[in-house]
Amino acid sequence: MAEALVETPGAAIDDACCVPADGQDGLSGGDSAALAARFKALADPNRLRLLSLVAAGDSGEACVCDLTGPLDLGQPTVSHHLKILVDAGLVTREKRGVWAYYSVVPGALDELAGALSAFGANA
Amino acid sequence: MAEALVETPGAAIDDACCVPADGQDGLSGGDSAALAARFKALADPNRLRLLSLVAAGDSGEACVCDLTGPLDLGQPTVSHHLKILVDAGLVTREKRGVWAYYSVVPGALDELAGALSAFGANA
């Protein structure tokens, strides 16, 4: 996990993140801020569609050149949304030749899913 | 699930929500909008802390009177954040006497977690 976050230092979070605390005090302020930042990156329909396209791409990656058509958005807008996903530590970006290729950070979505399930388990 | 959403018509979503489409087209616009609305409700540290406190409450519920202290926020602010969680279909509100009691909508968080895991499974 730590390796996967190397390219996104702005979103780097320690191992304690995303695990709701037991007991009555709930999440700490720091944990909740790190989690909220990731959910904020997911709080946009176009970013969710981009994330689903990247996840469904051949070999687990997608060229930015293949992401503009399905959403009917211009490349600057698509790149803006992808940067937010990268900054949140959910997606990585690799430049090869003239194109950038994006892939989902292994484990990042499962980690978020685990945090949500942990909430639900206490309900 | 349908019953649990009756109190929050604004956030009501059909059964097709939250399941990423297979194949190269990714999420539909409608599915992504419904999902994004829920993630937006989670994209705030104070709302995440409130959600964790509600989930950890005795009998799976928490009185609003017990939620202001841990966050050091005034009751109007706490009620504002709780309303956003209710409107998103994540939490229900029940008035009993002078206080409102909140509980997590059964299955709502697991449903979101499942959507995230489904993304990850394709990665």
> Is A76 part of any domain?
yes
Q: Where are any strands of DSSP class E within A1-123? A: 61-63, 91-96, 99-104
CA nearest A107: which of A37, A38, A45, A50?
Answer: A38
- Give ipTM to 2 decimals: 0.77
CATH number at residue B39: 1.10.10.10
A25 domain residue, yes or no: no
Is B3 within a domain?
no
Residue A113 within any structural domain of the chain:
yes
**Residue A2 contacts B, CB cutoff 8 Å:** no
Q: Is the pLDDT of residue A7 over 80?
A: no
Mean pLDDT of B48-74: 90
In tens, the pLDDT along A77-111 reads: 999 999 999 999 999 999 999 999 999 999 999 99
Using CA atoms, how far apart are residues B79 and B83, in angstroms rounded to an integer?
6
Number of structural domains in chain A = 1
Give A-chain residues touching B46 at CB under 8 angstroms: 32
Per residue in A71-83, pLDDT (tens digit) is 888 989 999 999 9
Closest approach of B47 to chain A, Cα-based (Å): 9
Which residues constitute the domain of residue B43?
26-122
Query: φ, ψ for residue B91 (rounded to 5)?
Result: -140, 145
Distance CA A34, CA A116 (A): 14
